[in-house]
Amino acid sequence: MPRPASLPNWCAAEVRCCAIRPPVRSTPSLWRLGARALPEPEPGLNRAERGNLVHRALELFWRDLPDQMALLALSPAARAEHLAAAIAGALDELARQRPELRGGRLRAVESACLERLLAHWLALETLRPPFRVAAREQDFELELDGLPIRLRIDRIDRLADGRLLLIDYKTGNIKPGGWAGARPEEPQLPLYALAVADSPADSRGGALAGIAFARVRIDDKAPNALVGITDTAELIPGCKTLVEYGLPADWPDALAQWRHDLGALAQEFLRGTATIACYTRSVDNQTELLPLNRLPEQDAIQRWRERT
């Protein structure tokens, strides 16, 4: 079975802590074996479609606004009107595949939910230190020890000091951490940092200030818009320093560590290493892989050995 030319953005995040996941869940299972679990049927839009709507609406919203100053200059009515137009554009695009969104109650409900969610998020954006939007939904190619990976960064902000903040929108729960160690559990943001560091000098050029998940959800217990890593905590509220996450104190050393650790995982991936070895409990929810990984059979054999 041929190996794919490169890993897409969603699959790049699977190159992580458990040796079973790169060979079983990612390339062979999804592309070579076709072993993807059937989606759970649900009424209306599914989680992925709603997530895509959030991404597209925010991309459209910032298309005509260059920076936070432009956002702050909008009156409440003008901001609401601009947001409604962005949401309508995102819904119109999805309606090409989902005709039920062309009008009627479902569209009205989805539009109202998006307006409430994104208005809350934009209010948090106004509280951040000044920033300029340098790129939206920007594609990158990363070569990691011979493994090509395609990445799309949701947003790149240029901060007041000229450095860059890489942002990934998240509408679900965010668990900070998992960015250090030989097998990082959450390699997505580190991969983004490596991709930008390796990109040729262009309009995005600039030193790295931080990498962060954007908490695009209504959560009164989480006052900060961003959760991530920086080398200067006061520069990006909500982000902790590299050292606090068990990483080297400066970006060059942190990038070098990620390149080494993630490069080792890439080599395992390329070799087709398929050891059934789970390093954290984060793989417990991969129940669709049980027919492939034979863990129940291994447990049964172990129980038999213990009895005999």
What is the model's pLDDT at position 120? 94
Helices within the chain (DSSP H only)? 9-12, 47-63, 68-73, 76-94, 105-125, 188-198, 251-271, 290-293, 295-307
User: In the chain, where are the structural domains located?
Assistant: 47-125
Rounded to whole angstroms, the Cα distance separating 150 from 141 reads: 5
Alpha helices in 103-207 (DSSP H): 105-125, 188-198
pLDDT at 23: 39
Residue pair 14/29 in contact by the 8 Å Cβ criterion: no
| Residuewise pLDDT in 10s, the chain (308 residues) | 455 555 655 455 555 444 334 434 444 445 556 666 777 777 788 888 999 999 999 999 999 999 999 999 999 999 999 999 999 999 999 999 999 898 889 999 999 999 999 999 999 999 999 999 999 999 999 999 999 999 999 999 999 999 999 999 999 888 788 898 888 888 999 999 999 998 875 545 579 999 999 999 987 666 678 999 999 878 888 899 999 999 999 999 999 999 999 999 999 888 877 666 665 555 555 666 666 667 777 788 888 988 87
- In this prediction, residue 82 carries a pLDDT of 98
CB 285 within 8 A of CB 25: no
DSSP for 275-307 reads: -----SGGGTT-GGGHHHH-HHHHHHHHHHHHH
Q: What is the pLDDT of residue 173?
A: 83
- The pTM (predicted TM-score) of the whole model is 0.83
User: Which residue has 């939206």 as its token pair?
Assistant: 136
For the chain, counts of helices (H) and of strands (E): 9, 6
**Cα separation, 262 vs 172, whole angstroms:** 25
Tokens of 113: 């939910």
Per-residue model confidence (pLDDT) at position 221: 67
